[in-house]
Amino acid sequence: MTERRLVLAHLYPEHMNLYGDRGNVLALARRARWRGIGFTVQAVEVGDSWDPAAADLVFMGGGEDRQQTRIAADFLARGDRLVAALANGLPMLAVCGGYQLLGRYYRTAGGERLPGLGWFSAYTEPGAGRAVGDVVAETDLGIDPPTLVGFENHGGRTFLDGGDTRPLGRVLLGQGNNGRDRGEGAVKGRVVGTYLHGSLLPKNPHLADLLLRWALERRGQDPALEPLDAAEEWAAHAVLVGRVPGGRLTREAGKKRALERG
């Protein structure tokens, strides 16, 4: 059997790493390595040479306005090559500030307009106050269960406005993109944008595995993933889902699901 190997590009880890976002990279690396998949993490900082086409998966976390401002020009300069790779099926997960810069623009609390890559048909304006707290959203990504959980803390309000960009999920708890339309995050192709920190992937192992399968498929490698013991991850997931009024999962149900699905 051919050895499976993946390369993840972690964009701006020294600048864009709010609320444990780096934990998403750790979750992907460990879930891959536990299955015997070689997994290399390439850190890409401002000014570094990087070819997006050589990556199998991309991650970009969130940052405060000053951090976003510091990396925005460098990120925009990489735009043509990154967008071409995304259009060719390169999977990417972008959280908070990374998500905002994949839209057309992000306007900071101070009024500065930072141009984005325009991958998502979306834009972000400053809001009145911050959206802070636990979030539960229901997604149509085809994952089981269809819920995603995390923690939001953002001042921007993101609005999707058509095209082939759709919300990542429908908010059951929390504010999501803008607190108005019940949308959370965005999906286009195999690119996922979200406001969910926490870290996101340790409490959503089904999303982590979806990203890994996408990356393996793109490289023509076997996307089948052996089940892992995920009792603790699903228990954490179930705690948050249980906070939704009329929530369908209890802690016990979450643990049972973990044993049933691996």
Residue in 10, 15, 154, 197 annotated catalytic? 197
What's the burial of 42, exposed, middle or buried (CB within 10 Å: 0-12/13-18/19+)? Answer: middle
| Helical (H) or strand (E) element with 186 | strand 186-188
Catalytic residue among 10, 15, 96, 206: 96
Identify the three-state secondary structure at position 157. strand
User: Are 91 and 72 contacting, i.e. CB atoms less than 8 angstroms apart?
Assistant: no
Distance separating alpha carbons of residues 59 and 210, to the nearest angstrom = 14
The question of whether 154 is a catalytic residue gets the answer no
**Integer-rounded Cα radius of gyration of the chain:** 17
Tokens 């960009």: give the residue: 165
Mark residue 245 as left, alpha or beta (left: phi above 0; alpha: psi -120 to 50; beta: remaining).
beta
Rounded Cα gap, residues 216 and 139, in angstroms: 22
Tell me which residues are annotated as active site.
96, 197
